[in-house]
Structure 1
Amino acid sequence: MDRRNVHFALVLAYHGPGFRGWQFQEGQPTVEGSLRKAAAPLFQGPFRCRAAGRTDAGVHARDQRVLLAGPCEHSADTLAKALNARLCEGIAVLQCREVGPDWDPKSGSFAKSYRYQVWRGPYLPPVLHDRVWWIQGRGALSQTAIEAAAAHLRGEQDYDSFRSAHCQARHARRCIWQLDFRPEETAAILAHPDERCALASFTVTGNAFCQHQVRIMVGTLVEVGLGKREAASIPGILEAKDRQAAGRTAPAQGLTLQRVYFPGEEALSGVPSDARWPGCPWD
């Protein structure tokens, strides 16, 4: 094929614990670094690599969106096959298509959805290793208390108390329209039923997230589910605008970037028709 300046849109999935996050770091195993290394021989010159967003060390992704753009003689299908043959274990290109020069996975997307899994029990099934937050103990978290607390965390508001002290975002104003807690079946994990054990997941969808925001919200809600914090305390935490007011940061390995949404996928994302935020694409 002729050498062309081509823009490729990738759907990337990865298992987080083997990497120090998405962003390239010299001398460290990162997802971006691994992708750049695999892609370099497939481009005939400098190329761009840009993701829909960064993920922290240990966080998984099943729908990271990535732009690779530069001089390339390969078709999208050939590039995907070549990348998968060269990528290290724990990363896979699920889809690859050619896009126009204006496509951008970060500025072009309007929302992301994350899933966080929690295992409660006296032991951790090996199949869940590096996939959940293991909270030692017996019995399920209180769904009623968590749902009452989560209701205060939905909407467009300031999440200063729920972001890392090292977060560099200019502000913490975000719009979150989904924050659900759901018990899950354990039959596919345990050969024998065990009432001491419980698996559950949080699903969080919003226009954007501050550093560690989802993990801090989950850590706080788990404290509520364990009876260590009252659901009614959440409004006060939000008003404090102080990281110390919220709960612990949940471990990274329980978190997965589930989906990135682009214009035309509003119904799929569940965004309310009246939702608005700074930079909202339909504002």
Structure 2
Amino acid sequence: MKNFKLTIQYDGGRYKGWQRQSGNNDTTVQGKIENVLTEMVGKNVEIIGCSRTDAGVHALCQIANFKTTKDFTETEVMTYLNRYLPQDISIIDVTIVPERFHARYNAKDKTYLYKIWNKEYTNPFMRKYSMHVEKKLLLDKMRNASQYFIGSHDFTSYSNAKSKKKSMVREIYSITIDENEGFIEIRIRGNGFLYNMVRKIVGTLIEVGLGEKEAETIPSIIESKERVQTGRMAEAEGLYLEKIEF
């Protein structure tokens, strides 16, 4: 039995997220990859993804793994996948790893990147890969506000997860906010993220940067565990899964 680790990049614009959905596998990134692997192996293949990115969200470094008894090489798997996958999904590395490796359970932390085009005019080349905010954002205020999210918290307020049976506690290790040639780049690193959590945190930071919300209200929003308190949610197209550590 071989266990293959895949490093994947994708433009999530036309997909309903990473996770396979019942009925039509052609609408998700996981489904697309599994369809190609199934053709290669000759029977159904299930891959395990590290992070379940939402509809429209992109990945610079998604990690997945699958197991097979077939004696393929790393090069054969990579070549076959890139030949038959659509051009908005690329396999940039394939490695044979120990059989116990699990893409989701072995991940120690993840980093998400959010891109904001912060000019009064649109960026025609990045309009599908960033959120446009016309009014100048006050970065010092956003950086101050970001510190309230650092640490372990129950992030029920900052999630749209349907089930509350599992723990909603997550730990944020760091948040950095940088300006780069018209783009505001927000990086959020943590041990895991709930459904829509990053986009809702970024939405709050944008509101603070626009002067629509005071940073000091964030602790009470977190403590309330009421989703209606969080306000706007940033658009999906600006979000990227950037890095995963094992």
**Does the alignment reach a TM-score above 0.5?**
yes
**CA deviation after TM superposition for structure 1 residue 44, in Å:** 3.8
1:19 counterpart (15, 20, 26)? 15
Q: Does 1:175 align with 2:159?
A: no
Assess, with a 3 A threshold, how the Cα gap between structure 1 residues 168 and 82 changes in structure 2: closer, same or farther. farther
1:141 counterpart (133, 137, 144)? 137
2:111 maps to: 113
2:99 maps to: 101
Deviations 1:220-247 (A, max 9, x none): 1100000000111111111111111112
Mapped contact 2:18–2:55 kept (Cα < 8 A):
yes
2:65 maps to: 67
Q: Does 1:199 align with 2:195?
A: no
Hey, what's the Cα distance between the residues in 2 that align with 1:70 and 1:169?
33
Hey, what's the Cα distance between the residues in 1 that align with 2:161 and 2:142?
25
**CA deviation after TM superposition for structure 1 residue 165, in Å:** 5.2
1:92 counterpart (82, 90, 93)? 90
How much identity, in percent, do the aligned residues show?
Answer: 29
Deviations 1:15-65 (A, max 9, x none): 010211011122251101110111112114343311012110100001111
Mapped contact 1:24–1:33 kept (Cα < 8 A):
yes
Q: Does 1:231 align with 2:215?
A: yes
- The AA in structure 2 aligned to 1:48 is E
Mapped contact 1:158–1:174 kept (Cα < 8 A):
yes
Q: Does 1:240 align with 2:224?
A: yes
Hey, what's the Cα distance between the residues in 2 that align with 1:51 and 1:123?
37
Hey, what's the Cα distance between the residues in 1 that align with 2:40 and 2:97?
17
1:50 maps to: 48
Larger-gyration structure (1/2): 1
**CA deviation after TM superposition for structure 1 residue 182, in Å:** 1.0
Q: TM-score normalized by structure 1?
A: 0.83
2:243 maps to: 259
Q: TM-score normalized by structure 2?
A: 0.95
1:150 counterpart (137, 140, 146)? 146
Hey, what's the Cα distance between the residues in 1 that align with 2:138 and 2:72?
53
Hey, what's the Cα distance between the residues in 2 that align with 1:244 and 1:184?
32
- The AA in structure 2 aligned to 1:241 is K
**CA deviation after TM superposition for structure 1 residue 96, in Å:** 0.1
Assess, with a 3 A threshold, how the Cα gap between structure 1 residues 214 and 222 changes in structure 2: closer, same or farther. same
Hey, what's the Cα distance between the residues in 2 that align with 1:15 and 1:162?
25
- The AA in structure 1 aligned to 2:227 is R
Hey, what's the Cα distance between the residues in 1 that align with 2:197 and 2:111?
13
Deviations 1:89-117 (A, max 9, x none): 20000000111210100001111100001
Q: Does 1:249 align with 2:233?
A: yes
2:243 match: secondary structure: strand
